[in-house]
Each structure stands twice: as C-alpha cells, then as structure tokens.
Chains A and B, each alone.
Chain A
C-alpha cells in the first residue's frame, strides 16, 4: 500500500493564479499545508487584467463552497452572457452561452435554421438564443429564475474586476490557513532535474513536497527544470501584443462583452458596474503600437499602459517531477472568449483532482500532461476558429487564414461544412452550442442536412422559428436589466 501522500505544497506567485491555486488546494485537499511565496515584479497574466469567465467558473467556485453571487457582490463584479462580435464577418453576431432555439419536430434547431437560412427565410441565429437576446437588451437574469420556460437552458459566466477578484482570493486563501512567506522568491534550486528547494530573498530556503509554478510567463520554476519545452502556436494565432485601460462605467451595464475586430487584431470592452475594462489584442507588426494605443484611447477615454508582448503556445510537459506549472506558465492563449480564467480554473481543478503522491509516478504525470495538453489544444482550436472563419481581408487576417489548420480543427470544419455535424472530442471546453454560435454566427452553413432532417418543410419551419423569435424577444424585454438585477441582489443580501 502506497502511503506517501503529499503533505506540503509551495505555490509560487502572488497573481490570481497563485492565490486561486493556494486557496483551492487548502480548501479541497485534506491534510496538506499550503504556502504561498510572492514573486517580486511578477508580470501580470491576462487573468490578472481581464476578469471575464466562462460558465465553468460557477463549478470552480462551487467546489470551493463559494457562491457566485457573493463573489460578484464582494468584488464589484457582474454577469456575462457571452460576447458580441463586431467586424469579424459581414454582420455582427452574439455568442450567447447555452441553447439556441427549439427543435423543429425531430430536427435540431441548428439544422432546421440552416435549411431556412439557405433560402434566406430566417432571422440571424443569435436572435433565437435566450442568452444572446437578454444580452442584446443589457438584461440579465439566471436561467430558470423567472419561471419563464423560454428563459431557460442558457448559461452565464461572470465579469469580474480582476484586481478585486485577486484580492478576494488572497483573503480567502489566508482565511483557509495558507501561509504567506514574508520573503519573496529568489530562485529555484534544481538538483537532478527536480526542485530541491526554493531560495528566498531573505537567504532562507523552503522545502516542499510539491511546487506549483504560478509565475505566469516567467515560468520561474518549470523553466528552471525544462527551459525548452515550448510548442509555438504563433503561426495560427498571430496576435502578440496587448494594451489595456480602465474607462468610466456605462449607464446601461452590458451583460455581453464587445469584441470588435480591427485591421490587425481586436478590441475588447468588458463592462463592470463601477468601471469598464478595455483592451486591444493585436499583432505588433500588423497594427503598430501607436495605432493600437490611439484606437484604444478613443474607445476607453483613458490612456493605455505599455504593450505586453506574448506568444501563443503551450508547454508539452506542464508537470515534471515535483513541479507543476499552471496558468500562463503552462499555456498562453489570447484573452478571446474569456479563456484565461477558464484555463486557470481548469488547471487548478485538474491539479486537485489528479493529485499524485510523493512518488510522482510517471504514469500519473504523463496522464496529467496529456489531458491538460489536449484541453489546451481544443481551446486553441476554438480560438483559431474565430479567425479562420472571419471574413476580413487585411493581410493580418488573410495570412492567418492561409495557414493550414491543426488537423482536428480541419476535420471539424470539413464535417460541419458538409453536413452540420460536430464531432465529440475529449477535453473539449466549449459545448456544441458555443461552436454552433460561432460557426453559424460567422455564416458558415452546412451544405446539407442529415437524412432524418431532410424533410423539413422550410416554410413551416420558418414560421415556427419566427414565432419563437418574437416570443423570445417579448419575454426577454420583460426581464430585468443587468443593473436592476444587481440591485435586487444587493437588496436581497441586505435583507
């Protein structure tokens, strides 16, 4: 019987990655002592800058026995139902979380809608999605909360104020007994390909069973063990620069973030109750730092900071021996579709759920590395999908569309274009609903339907869809605004 459980864990890095990992380990793994070691001048991760989450955040918080609405209230956050994309293809579209439409007879909505779309008989796909329609009117209510059958089956993420969220987790981690060292990291002491100890800047050494590298792109621990282990994705995802700024709040608080494509990248606007986060993600060559700054200043009404450079890609082996890299120390993807916090939460969850013992058996680490790599690859494919199916003509966009796609994505697109089918893939983060929202939103229509759907009467089907759309618009218009919903929460918690 193996009896070598992990008793001590050192989490290195005091960004959002380090604090969430420390808190989750302390909360979910019994009989471990968790220490957090701050790092001087730690470069912020995208998750430290942009606080959008996918619906998966709710599970992450739930596993920690935290309540989403409580986090939102305490950190000045709000909710997000998806993203509105503008300038990517001919017409703007909304990727709202969750289902779209209703089955027409036995035919899935997306297939029936595609058939009607071929004949130009139907309104855009997103106008049949509850989350998108609530978002279009700056409204919010959780699915099912009003008892209105049409307003169900959708999901929502959170729009968090990133620094406040980090502060919240820092406090929570301390409350759970995470020990925070006064000294900061000086470096990792590597012996025989493993971390023997952490050198701290007061001269002390800290020894632990497991070391978690949460030092973002600097990868201070895993980089010391394996300096060259990077799989580069920058030919598929060419954005390499980010600038960001905080602007004033918007009166009508949107429940969708706005993602606007420009000639050499895209701009994000994510609204919080008290302020608005703006960012520009771009190719430095394609757009130029000065033009990027000018565009962002115009949108935000505030001066952006200096550009942050990055390269998309991932480590092949995020877990080596007694060190595991999480967040950007392991995977770097641009902040499209709120993936930064999603990946971070997922890494932390995977770490907790597959924690090995002090033997660090290769079979357990290989398994972790493979599954975590597959997950990153599927997220990568989802982001590439946005670019490759966009309809922009500038060189930045054209060149990206000309690069041969990763094989799984190429297969998915071929299958979808031919007959509207999406293959089921392991470690896929986004639901088929989300894939459909982006594909059909960017006007990628299947050439033909399945045989069972071949008998759709398009005239009849369009009538049902129209009716559904009109009804949905009516009930969505009666839902509370995002601000009104937040106010009702505040009243509820005060009572």
Chain B
C-alpha cells in the first residue's frame, strides 16, 4: 500500500503508531475507547484504557440528544441490541415544569414547529394570529410525547411524521460495559490499576502513568477521562478552570432511582424546585430521579427530603450525593493531554448535554487526530470547537433560569436578577422585540430549540416579522386550524411508546 502524504503519514512513520492511553473507564472513557478502536486503524494508533475498580463512576447523562444515534451508527451498533443492553427508552424531548412560573409546563422537542412560509418562521405567523399559546399543538413530537406515543420518523420528507428526531434515555452505568466489549473486540486493551504517579518528560509532556502495582504505562497521547478529579488536565498540567457558578449556581445533586409508575413516557421531565430542579428519566426497568441544587440555597438533608417526597414510585435505593461545579477548563487539549467528559468541564444535565459533549470531543479528536510531534494547529482548532460548544450550551442553560417570573425563593431571586453574558442578553432582547432568533452554524441547539425555550420561559415577542402580515386573518386561521388537525391525526397513527419498544425486540430482560 502507498501512503497518503508520504512525508508525514501516520502509518508509514518509522516505528509504531500513536500510543493512546485513556485514563478512566466511565462513560466518557469507554465511548472514547470504542470510537478510537473502531475508527482508527491499528497501524496508526493503539488504544489502552486504564481504570480502577476501586474508583466509582458518576454515570451522569442518562438522557441524551439525537446525536447519540449518529455515534452508535458510526460504531455499527444495532439499536435494539443497544436498547436491550441499557434498558433504554425513546426520547422525544424534555418537559420543563414550573420554570417560568409555578404551574407552567412546556416541552422542548426534537423537532420544528409548523413550517416556514415565504422564508418567514412559523412562530411569526402564530404571533401575528395571537396564537403563540398554542405552540405545542404544531409540534408532532410534543403531541406524541404528551400521549406517550412513539414511532421513528417517516422517510418521506413531505409527511408530518418526518418532522422530528429522537434520542434515548438509558442506563449510563450499563452503556460503559456495553461499549467496553465492543472496544476490546476492536483491539482496545484494558488495564486494571490505580494511577499512583504521572510521569512527565523533559519538555513537560505526560510520558507515562505509574500504577500502584509498579507498572508503568507509556503513551504518546493521553486522554483524560478521569472525571471530576481531572487527574491529568488539572492535577498534572494545572490547566485553569473557568468557573461559571455565578451563572449556574447549582453545585450538587442527590440521585435516587425509583420503581416505574404510570405510562412509559418518551420524554424526560425537569421540574423546577425551590433551589434548583429535579430530573425524572423513565427507563424500561426503573425511573431515574435526582435533585440538582445550589448548596448555598438548600442543605443536603433538605434536598434529599425534597427528592424523596417528590418521587412517585417506590424508592429503589438510598439517595446518593454528587458534587460538581459548572465551568470548563480553559483549554481541553493541553500538550499531549486531551480532556474528555467531566475532566474537561461540567454543565448540569438540564438539557441532556453531558454525553453530547463527550461525543463532540471524540468527533473533534478523530477529525484532528494528531501526528508526532503534535501540531499546535490541531490543538487550537480542537480547543476552538470545544470552547464554542460549551459556551453556547452554557448560555442556553442560563436562559432557563434567568427567564423566569419565579420570586418564591432566594435561589430564584438570584438567577432572575443576575447579570447574564452579554451575548445571551442580546439574544433574549432580540427575541422579545420581534421573535428574532440568532442563528449560528456550529453548536448544538438550533432555532426550534431556542424558540421552544424562549416561549416556554415566557420570553414573548412584542412584535413579529412584518412579512407575516401578508395572509388574510381568515386564511391564516384556517391554515393553522388545518395544521393542528393534521398533527393530531398523524399522532393518532403512532403506537404507544411501550408497545413500540416491544415490537422491535428492544425490551430488556429481567435486570441482572
């Protein structure tokens, strides 16, 4: 075989391929190992994952975004097999309860509202017709979610049943082992051991990990998936942490699974609480619950009590406490260390972005896979991409807290009155003024997401695009009525969520 770009090419260099050492065997670690082992030829890179069974994993991110499907597909993972292994359910969006005001409920769906006409966004026509309050009834995934129905999107782009995407809610603790078997089959090597020391070379790069039993694991590129400990990026390389807790003050969570109760909902629920919010993630075999809160505004015991009181089904375990801080390392890739997952940053799981951020980092690492020596161009581009992802999600999360009328606790008073990043303040102003959504090409949440959350958080436009004044009031009303009816009719053809999971053979067996 002839090599591409022969003077530098990966595989044709003298000696072996790049030795990649992944530190940590949580979700991030095994996602990284599985992807690299599957997608990078063994002649170019070897993949070794070091983990210690003594160290527990956080297992955050049970709810995901639709992007996870692309990840699974690229790794050749069969959907039913994956769902069975992780006890997964389908997810059409997230329901937010009590956020802008107590008693409010809205769903942020994976799909658009209505359709644009003459290049003018659908919500402008709704605003003009004074029917913004009916927004949900023009979203097929929301109507389906409210009725606990699910079917995958239709192929025909003209069908209303094609107007959405979907993700999964799954047991993250089982996703890691599921990926591990695949990674190992693709040649990744797992080493059990606790890291005792990080050895560095003369230049300051990480050269090796020394384990407690004395073994030394040498590598060329180290991927820090050590979770909040950030053993390499923080503890070894001292990369500074940008603290965002003044915008996102929640710094703890208490989690507790419970037995399923009621119909299997194809959506996650995030209910605002006195000092944070509570998640409800329905899996096949249980429901994941947790209260994400600000320790400055409520103590641990009170938070645990509030969670226990709110959970519907029978508790399946004692409440478990997690600590964190919102923010990110200034750079995710420093020297020959790439941080992926919690080692590089943390954003609360309000919009299910944890696994997405891991995936974005893996994708960027593969696209910018380094040579030896590592080019600063690769690092800088990687850091630019990751920074953009984090910052855009951060602003989107802040929006949920800041755009509220709640004044029932010091926590809500704080987030309602805090100063938000300038770019977000301007985005909110623009929407409030005329329903204008600032668009961008890179970044996870697109226009429909912003519209769903603005309106759900009662950021209501005072005006609308003047072009939406064109249709006559009668014609507009008729078109809206028709679309509502068509959406209802299309949803009525969908099976129930539980029925659909069963029909594709994705039902998990009795839990081990």
Quote the shortest CB–CB distance from A439 to chain B (angstroms).
Answer: 15
Considering the chains assembled together, what is the distance between the CA atoms of A353 and B40 in angstroms? 45
Considering the chains assembled together, what is the distance between the CA atoms of A356 and B463 in angstroms? 9
With CB as the reference atom, state the residue of chain A lying closest to B10.
Answer: A454
Considering the chains assembled together, what is the distance between the CA atoms of A3 and B469 in angstroms? 12
Q: Which of B249-257, B428-436, B489-497 is the interface stretch?
A: B428-436
Quote the shortest CB–CB distance from A428 to chain B (angstroms).
Answer: 8
Contact of A419 among B378, B462, B463 (CB under 8 A): B378
Chain B residues in 8 Å Cβ range of A36: none
Chain B residues in 8 Å Cβ range of A459: 2
Considering the chains assembled together, what is the distance between the CA atoms of A410 and B359 in angstroms? 28
Contact of A367 among B11, B375, B438, B470 (CB under 8 A): B438
Find out whether the CB atom of B11 lies under 8 angstroms from the CB atom of A455: yes
The yes or no answer to B503 lying at the interface (CB within 8 A) is no
Contact of A119 among B2, B41, B368, B369 (CB under 8 A): B2
Chain B residues in 8 Å Cβ range of A115: 4-5
User: In the complex where A30-B467, A118-B5, A418-B377 touch, is A448 in contact with B371 (Cβ < 8 A)?
Assistant: yes
The yes or no answer to B9 lying at the interface (CB within 8 A) is yes
Considering the chains assembled together, what is the distance between the CA atoms of A366 and B366 in angstroms? 38
- Interface flags for B443-476 (1: CB within 8 Å of A; 0: not) read 0000000000000000000110111011000000
- Interface flags for A352-389 (1: CB within 8 Å of B; 0: not) read 11111100010110110000000000000000000000
Within 8 A of A (CB), among B1-26: 1-11
The yes or no answer to B53 lying at the interface (CB within 8 A) is no
The yes or no answer to A74 lying at the interface (CB within 8 A) is no
The yes or no answer to A99 lying at the interface (CB within 8 A) is no
Find out whether the CB atom of A421 lies under 8 angstroms from the CB atom of B368: yes
Contact of B463 among A32, A353, A357, A452 (CB under 8 A): A357
Considering the chains assembled together, what is the distance between the CA atoms of A353 and B434 in angstroms? 11
Quote the shortest CB–CB distance from B403 to chain A (angstroms).
Answer: 16
The yes or no answer to A28 lying at the interface (CB within 8 A) is yes
User: In the complex where A63-B119, A419-B378 touch, is A457 in contact with B429 (Cβ < 8 A)?
Assistant: no
Contact of A450 among B367, B380, B430 (CB under 8 A): B367
- Interface flags for B51-85 (1: CB within 8 Å of A; 0: not) read 00000000000000000000000000000000000
- Interface flags for A130-159 (1: CB within 8 Å of B; 0: not) read 000000000000000000000000000000
Chain A residues in 8 Å Cβ range of B465: 353, 355
With CB as the reference atom, state the residue of chain A lying closest to B441.
Answer: A424
Chain B residues in 8 Å Cβ range of A30: 466-467, 469-470
The yes or no answer to B498 lying at the interface (CB within 8 A) is no
The yes or no answer to A202 lying at the interface (CB within 8 A) is no
Chain B residues in 8 Å Cβ range of A398: none
- Interface flags for B416-446 (1: CB within 8 Å of A; 0: not) read 0000000000100110011010111110000
Contact of B467 among A28, A114, A357, A449 (CB under 8 A): A28
The yes or no answer to B381 lying at the interface (CB within 8 A) is yes
The yes or no answer to A1 lying at the interface (CB within 8 A) is yes
The yes or no answer to A31 lying at the interface (CB within 8 A) is yes
Contact of B369 among A367, A414, A451 (CB under 8 A): A451
Find out whether the CB atom of B44 lies under 8 angstroms from the CB atom of A31: no
Contact of B2 among A367, A453, A458 (CB under 8 A): A458
The yes or no answer to A447 lying at the interface (CB within 8 A) is yes
Chain B residues in 8 Å Cβ range of A424: 441-442
The yes or no answer to B39 lying at the interface (CB within 8 A) is yes
Considering the chains assembled together, what is the distance between the CA atoms of A364 and B466 in angstroms? 14
The yes or no answer to B315 lying at the interface (CB within 8 A) is no
Considering the chains assembled together, what is the distance between the CA atoms of A354 and B470 in angstroms? 16
The yes or no answer to A415 lying at the interface (CB within 8 A) is yes
Chain A residues in 8 Å Cβ range of B466: 5-6, 29-32, 355, 357
User: In the complex where A355-B466, A364-B433 touch, is A451 in contact with B10 (Cβ < 8 A)?
Assistant: yes
With CB as the reference atom, state the residue of chain B lying closest to A356.
Answer: B434
Find out whether the CB atom of A454 lies under 8 angstroms from the CB atom of B9: yes
The yes or no answer to A493 lying at the interface (CB within 8 A) is no
Find out whether the CB atom of B463 lies under 8 angstroms from the CB atom of A2: yes
- Interface flags for B345-387 (1: CB within 8 Å of A; 0: not) read 0000000000000000000001111010001011011001000
Chain A residues in 8 Å Cβ range of B381: 415, 421, 423
Interface size on A, residues (CB 8 A): 53
User: In the complex where A363-B426, A367-B426 touch, is A353 in contact with B119 (Cβ < 8 A)?
Assistant: yes
Chain B residues in 8 Å Cβ range of A357: 434, 463, 466
The yes or no answer to B264 lying at the interface (CB within 8 A) is no
The yes or no answer to A309 lying at the interface (CB within 8 A) is no
The yes or no answer to B45 lying at the interface (CB within 8 A) is yes
User: In the complex where A29-B466, A30-B470, A355-B466 touch, is A454 in contact with B426 (Cβ < 8 A)?
Assistant: no
User: In the complex where A63-B119, A454-B44 touch, is A448 in contact with B436 (Cβ < 8 A)?
Assistant: no
Chain A residues in 8 Å Cβ range of B470: 30
The yes or no answer to A426 lying at the interface (CB within 8 A) is yes
Considering the chains assembled together, what is the distance between the CA atoms of A55 and B49 in angstroms? 50
Find out whether the CB atom of A448 lies under 8 angstroms from the CB atom of B467: no
Chain B residues in 8 Å Cβ range of A419: 368, 375, 377-378
Chain A residues in 8 Å Cβ range of B371: 448
Chain B residues in 8 Å Cβ range of A425: 441
Find out whether the CB atom of A451 lies under 8 angstroms from the CB atom of B377: no
Find out whether the CB atom of A447 lies under 8 angstroms from the CB atom of B368: no
Chain B residues in 8 Å Cβ range of A355: 465-466
- Interface flags for A102-137 (1: CB within 8 Å of B; 0: not) read 000000000110110011000000000000000000
User: In the complex where A30-B469, A426-B440, A450-B369 touch, is A458 in contact with B4 (Cβ < 8 A)?
Assistant: yes
Considering the chains assembled together, what is the distance between the CA atoms of A364 and B442 in angstroms? 22
Chain A residues in 8 Å Cβ range of B440: 426
Chain A residues in 8 Å Cβ range of B462: 1-2
The yes or no answer to A456 lying at the interface (CB within 8 A) is yes
User: In the complex where A357-B463, A451-B10 touch, is A363 in contact with B429 (Cβ < 8 A)?
Assistant: yes
With CB as the reference atom, state the residue of chain B lying closest to A425.
Answer: B441
Task: Determine which residue in B371, B466, B470 has the highest number of CB atoms from chain A within 10 A of its CB, and name it.
Answer: B466
Chain B residues in 8 Å Cβ range of A451: 10, 40-41, 44-45, 366, 369
User: In the complex where A2-B463, A28-B467, A31-B469 touch, is A449 in contact with B4 (Cβ < 8 A)?
Assistant: yes
Find out whether the CB atom of B4 lies under 8 angstroms from the CB atom of A454: yes
Considering the chains assembled together, what is the distance between the CA atoms of A313 and B364 in angstroms? 35
Considering the chains assembled together, what is the distance between the CA atoms of A452 and B9 in angstroms? 12
Within 8 A of B (CB), among A55-107: 63
User: In the complex where A424-B442, A449-B5, A454-B41 touch, is A1 in contact with B430 (Cβ < 8 A)?
Assistant: no
Chain A residues in 8 Å Cβ range of B45: 451
User: In the complex where A63-B119, A426-B440, A450-B369 touch, is A455 in contact with B4 (Cβ < 8 A)?
Assistant: yes
Chain B residues in 8 Å Cβ range of A353: 119, 465
Considering the chains assembled together, what is the distance between the CA atoms of A118 and B462 in angstroms? 58
Contact of A352 among B433, B441, B467 (CB under 8 A): B467
Chain A residues in 8 Å Cβ range of B3: 454, 458
Quote the shortest CB–CB distance from A38 to chain B (angstroms).
Answer: 26
User: In the complex where A367-B426, A421-B381, A426-B441 touch, is A447 in contact with B434 (Cβ < 8 A)?
Assistant: no
Find out whether the CB atom of B429 lies under 8 angstroms from the CB atom of A452: no
Chain A residues in 8 Å Cβ range of B434: 356-357, 364
Chain A residues in 8 Å Cβ range of B442: 424, 426
Given A119-B2, A352-B467, A356-B433: 7 more A-B contacts, CB < 8 Å: A421-B368, A424-B442, A448-B4, A449-B9, A451-B41, A454-B44, A459-B2
A-B contacts, 19 listed (Cβ < 8 Å): A32-B466, A118-B5, A352-B467, A364-B430, A367-B438, A414-B377, A415-B377, A419-B368, A419-B377, A421-B381, A423-B384, A426-B442, A448-B5, A449-B5, A450-B367, A451-B45, A452-B369, A454-B5, A459-B2
Using a CB–CB distance below 8 Å, which chain A residues touch chain B?
1-3, 5-6, 28-32, 63, 111-112, 114-115, 118-119, 352-357, 361, 363-364, 366-367, 411, 414-415, 418-419, 421, 423-426, 428, 446-459
Using a CB–CB distance below 8 Å, which chain B residues touch chain A?
1-11, 39-41, 44-45, 118-119, 366-369, 371, 375, 377-378, 380-381, 384, 426, 429-430, 433-434, 436, 438-442, 462-463, 465-467, 469-470
Q: Which 4 A/B pairs are nearest by Cβ-Cβ distance?
A: A451-B369, A115-B4, A418-B377, A363-B429
